[in-house]
Amino acid sequence: MPPQEIIRKKRDRVALSDAEIAAFINAATSGDVSEGQIGAFLMATYLNGMTIDETAALTLAMRDSGRVLDWTGLGANQARLIDKHSSGGVGDEKITLLVVPLAAACGVLVPNLSGRGLDYCAGEVDMLDAIPGYQTAPPPDLFMRTVREVGGAIIGPTLDLAPADRKLFYVRDVTATVESVPLITGSILSKKLASAPRGLVISVGSGSGAYMASLDDARRLANSMAEVSARAGASSVMLVTDLDSVLGTAVGNAVGVIEAVDFLTGKHRDPRVLDLVLALTAEMVVLAGIEAEVAVAGNRAAAMLDNGGAAERFARMVEALGGPSDFLEKAARYLPAAPVVRAVFAEQRGFLAGMNAKEIGLTLVALGGGRTRPDDAIDLAVGLTGFAQVGDPVDNTNPLCMVHARDEPSFELAAKRIRAAVQIASAPAGASGPIVRERIVRRA
């Protein structure tokens, strides 16, 4: 069937067969359909959705667009292969850089395929591209060796692993087709299943900084991913999170890496980031069979963070994948820095009561830290740091955040956007609620 017939069926709300979905995904991967046709397929899917059978077929076709890793050489240790992912959120991308080394320090083996920035959320792969020498698309053998020897490795989709996601991702990024349950399910799980872990822990964001703004939509996404994972033989835990405000204090690529390094080395740990990192790691430790109880696993993870175990694994992962051996000690020297770094103050003094976190993410894109065309090169140096948290006082000494910009006009535009995106109350406003809102456990 020609690709336009497959697109027409989706446009006309006719369910696609497994073979039709596989044919379209194969053609997208090989370049036999154009970016325009991929965009049309994505928009038809965004508007009309997919049944769970179609979503599972999409996921498996995307996984099978490349190879699936074979870990049989690990013998019984294959049970410790557990991966994590996030469905995306403003500030959330740094969490993978923290959880993968922490879980590795706890004894989990983490073969992590992450994503680039997507629409208004930054992504792990762009962040890691800011580290000189770090290979985000290494040969599979190097990836597997790093997982075996260090305990974890973070890379992106490659020409061998989930290449279909690589293709679709670039088009989704700039076509307003991201916020779709089947497309997110296919994108995340194709990568997860290509690296062949035995179990998955996924944080599913809800709120203004997440692709699923409402709790109900986040639950739908969590249930879709849990069902498709189970059909593919992987047990999963979904933690539905509250991303109604910027998570942590940095938004951007190089600046996000600095926040991650500061967290791992104990220089600064945002409390909500800490809670989420420990919660995700604890679930991975339990799924790996290392501990039986989540609470006990959480204590093990906290100890590994405090004794420097996670920081050491991060440093080893960076070196193994081609980055500097002293990156942890000299991160700021290695990362690109923006020439203009200035504070943004609120228009009135008071307390931060809330924000439109998506607008904050779009501010990063406007600064040059995200893409507006699939082939855009992005500015890895720009971003936001020291973002105030809900409940914090803001006045002429306590800024909303620092903007890292390429020039003065971009700083001015970003400052204006940020001021318009936040709500300030005159009386102390309550802090954000717990980061984890719900937990969904699904055994395969």
Between CA 179 and CA 207 the distance in angstroms is 12
**What is the smallest separation between the CB atom of 299 and ligand URA, expressed in angstroms?**
29
Counting residues that bind ligand URA (by CB under 6 A) gives 7
429 Cβ contact partners less than 8 Å away, ≥ 6 residues apart: 351, 352, 353, 354, 390, 391
Residue 303's nearest CA partner among 99, 106, 96 is 106
Concerning whether 126 is annotated as a catalytic residue, the answer is: no
Single out the catalytic residue among 80, 166, 191, 371: 191
CB of 44 to ligand URA, least distance (A): 17
Q: For helices 215-231 and 52-63, give the axis angle rounded to 10 degrees.
A: 60
Check if 262 is active-site. Answer: no
Instruction: Between 116 and 437, name the residue whose CB sits nearer to ligand URA.
Output: 116
CA–CA distance from 126 to each of 93, 116, 245, 252, 369 (Å)? 10, 5, 22, 9, 9
The mark string for 35-74 relative to ligand URA (x by CB under 6 A, - otherwise) is ----------------------------------------
Between 203 and 410, CB nearer to ligand URA: 203
- 145 classed as catalytic: no
191 catalytic per annotation: yes
* Catalytic residue (choose from 165, 173, 242, 244): 165
Instruction: Please confirm, yes or no, whether 165 is among the known catalytic residues.
Output: yes
**Which of 85, 219, 404, 437 is labelled catalytic?**
85
* Spatial distance between the Cα atoms of 112 and 128, rounded to a whole number of angstroms: 13
Angle at 21 between CA 155 and CA 35, to 5 degrees: 65
> Which residue is catalytic, options 187, 190, 195, 235?
187
Site string for ligand URA, 340-379 (x = CB under 6 A): ----------------------------------------
Residue 87 beta carbon to ligand URA: minimum distance, rounded to whole angstroms: 5
Q: Which of residues 175-214 bind ligand URA (CB under 6 A)?
A: 184, 187-188
- C-beta of 264: minimal distance to ligand URA in Å? 22
Question: Which residues lie closer than 8 Å to 275 by C-beta, 6 or more apart?
Answer: 434, 435, 436
Looking at 91, 101, 115, 152, which residue binds ligand URA (CB under 6 A)? 115
Q: What is the number of other CB atoms lying within 10 angstroms of the CB of residue 78?
A: 14
Which residue number, 162 or 400, has a Cβ lying nearer to ligand URA? Answer: 162
Cβ proximity of 282 and 301 under 8 Å? yes
Q: Which of 224, 191, 201 is nearest to 60 (CA)?
A: 191
Query: Which residues, 83 to 112, sit near ligand URA by CB under 6 A?
Result: 87-88
The widest CA-to-CA distance across the chain, in whole angstroms, is 64
User: Are the CB atoms for 195 and 153 separated by under 8 Å?
Assistant: no
Task: Find the shortest distance in angstroms from Cβ 113 to ligand URA.
Answer: 8
Exactly one of 118, 279, 346, 388 binds ligand URA (CB under 6 A); that residue is 118
370: exposed, middle or buried (C-beta count within 10 Å: 0-12, 13-18, 19+)? buried
As measured in angstroms, the least distance from the Cβ of 203 to ligand URA is: 10
Residues 243, 357 contacting (CB under 8 angstroms): yes
Q: Which is nearer to ligand URA, 115 or 298 (CB)?
A: 115
- Residues serving a catalytic function are 85, 165, 172, 187, 191
- List residues binding ligand URA (CB under 6 A): 87-88, 115, 118, 184, 187-188
